[in-house]
Chain A
Amino acid sequence: MQYRLRTRRDAYRGAQWKRGSLRQGRRPLTLNLAPMIDVTFLLLIFFSVTTTFKRAEGFFSAKLPQDAGRPTVALPITPVIVRVQQYGPNPGDYRLRLDNFLNAPATFDELSEFLANVQNNPGFDADTPVVIAAEPDVAWDHVVGCWNAAVRAGCKNISFGR
């Protein structure tokens, strides 16, 4: 039987065998990206499924009378009463009228200009009450359009009325 002296190289390879690097072969250290990609794709799918692009919503502030039946406008002040009337069956068949004024704006742009110009007359200003009196059949879209025209004109005291 032939024995060989145990050298330092033998000892090193023995240690390698024990910790497994010699048995499995030498592999470079790598980062396992698969779970991260899984989670990332899940997030992507979640966001792409749940996202709906829509226009932002905004508010028009309004005030309601505290007691029903009480006039909302002080009597000495002459309010600007904007009437929205429905004259046909289609939602677009509406017209605008202004009490005590001869001018009848045809569109909300014209109404806004008119209300802005009215504020320059004596006895009228931005605090002059603007009452929107819409007929029951008028589309809500036009009522809001009327309110928006008054806000655009700088009116600060807008309310609903009959």
Chain B
Amino acid sequence: MIMRAPRYQHHDIAFNMAPLIDVVFLLIIFFTLVSTFASAENIRMTLPTPDKSKAQAIKIVDRVVINCQYAAPVTTGGTGRVLYSVGPNPPEDLDSIAQKLAAARQGNPKLKVIIRADKRLRYEQVRAVMAIVADANIQNLSLVAHVAAGEE
């Protein structure tokens, strides 16, 4: 009887990339669908979140965004400050913003102003912006808040 040595089959070791590529493509498709690139003029802040919000996510053209940021107090017990800025520009005082608004209103009579104010600010700090908007003879004003959770 002839004894045969066992035959070993040699296979190339290969890394199966197909599932990895599948997952990566799925992730890319997910991110491309859900991503909305943030506008630079919408500075990050804590916006008001009213219950059952009726704020409407609409597109407003011919607009100027005035951001009212809350600056936390430096010392304990101090009051927070407010930083006003037009769009993505650095903070400036209200007189300077009023001049810009007046110039923009002359160039575009249909100009709309959007006030994005931090919810921690006091009413008088936002009312000061409304006053300069009214002084610039601009009637159309929009206040920004978060929309309801189910209507995003």
A contact residues vs B (CB 8 Å cutoff)? 33, 37, 40-41, 43-44, 47-48, 50-66, 68, 84, 91, 108-109, 134-141, 143-145, 147-149, 151-152, 160
Contact = CB atoms under 8 A, between A and B. Distances in A.
Interface of B: 17, 21, 24-25, 27-28, 31-32, 34-35, 37-38, 42, 47-58, 60, 114, 116-127, 130-131, 133-135, 137-147, 149, 151-152
A48 B151 CA distance: 24
Nearest to B112: A61
B123 A137 contact: yes
Nearest to A145: B50
B123 A134 contact: yes
A140 B122 contact: yes
A148 B50 contact: yes
Nearest to B116: A57
Given A44-B28, A140-B117, A140-B122, A59 B55 contact: yes
A63 B134 CA distance: 9
A148 B58 CA distance: 16
Given A40-B28, A57-B144, A50 B125 contact: no
